[in-house]
Amino acid sequence: MEQRAVPTQYAAGHGDPKKDAGSGTTCTGEVNGERTAATASSSPPPHPRTASSFSSSSSSAVTEGWREERTRSVEDNEMSRPGLTAAYRTILSGLGEDPQRQGLLKTPLRAATAMQFFTKGYQEKIIDVLNDAIFDEDHDEMVIVKDIDMFSMCEHHLVPIFGRVHIGYLPNKRVLGLSKLARIVEIYSRRLQVQERLTKQIAVAITEALKPAGVGVVIEATHMCMVMRGVQKMNSKTVTSTMLGVFREDAKTRDEFLTLIRS
């Protein structure tokens, strides 16, 4: 991704996730065994907001989008596949290859089909996944699902992003089927993405669906646009976080979440 010209970066006004008191994205990492950091801005973090008020201001577009996400159907895939196949054939020619040689004859179709799978999140809506998996439950202790495998595509270079997602929320009389947290990750990650937006989309979807007391999401990922090209830093990782509700406002709750996902 073009904005990651350095191996590791911190979002505005934030530091180490273990000490971070804000809810914006926070990036940390290591390069060749050495910890590095850069502050993108010196402006202070925004004033705390509750989970219920999160849909206001600059995040309103993300919040409103969670109900209206499906932009592609299975039928669309069938209709667009010939065009995608032709585009990949053109790419092969542009690279100096012969699309007619034996090893490449079916490559354009394979690549088109693969790209549709890599972006299959456009075919799904969060509301369809969650409607039958929200349960009334008198539980008010933290729920965490960590180390959820994540695969996505950098929207700037169309190369993979892969890593792990950690999700925690504090229920408010309603809980979500545990597997649905992984489904939310799958839906949003299987799109053209930037990690910062992906982190926020996951947190907002859970907030809007459950109205919990708070939500925390942390993503640790490797970006092939930094590994295969550009700065080519093999050991760099990007860490982003979004904290909403009590995870943002209460340091003890936030610290408990960050401690548990690293245990």
Query: Which residues are marked as active site?
Result: 154-157, 195, 223, 225
Q: 133 with 168: CB under 8 angstroms?
A: no
Distance CA 187, CA 208 (A): 16
Are the C-beta atoms of residues 28 and 8 closer than 8 Å to each other? yes
Closest to 250 (Cα-Cα) out of 211, 205, 221, 216: 216
3-state SS string for 125-147: CHHHHHCCCEEECCCCCCEEEEE
| Amino acid identity, position 66 | W
The contacts of residue 255 (CB under 8 Å, 6+ apart) are 18
Q: Are 150 and 164 in contact (CB under 8 A)?
A: yes
Helices (H), 146-229: 178-189, 195-210, 224-227
Exposed / middle / buried, residue 34 (Cβ in 10 Å: 0-12, 13-18, 19+):
exposed
| Helix H or strand E segment including 88 | helix 74-94
Any idea how long the chain is? 263
- Which 3 state secondary structure label does DSSP give 4? coil
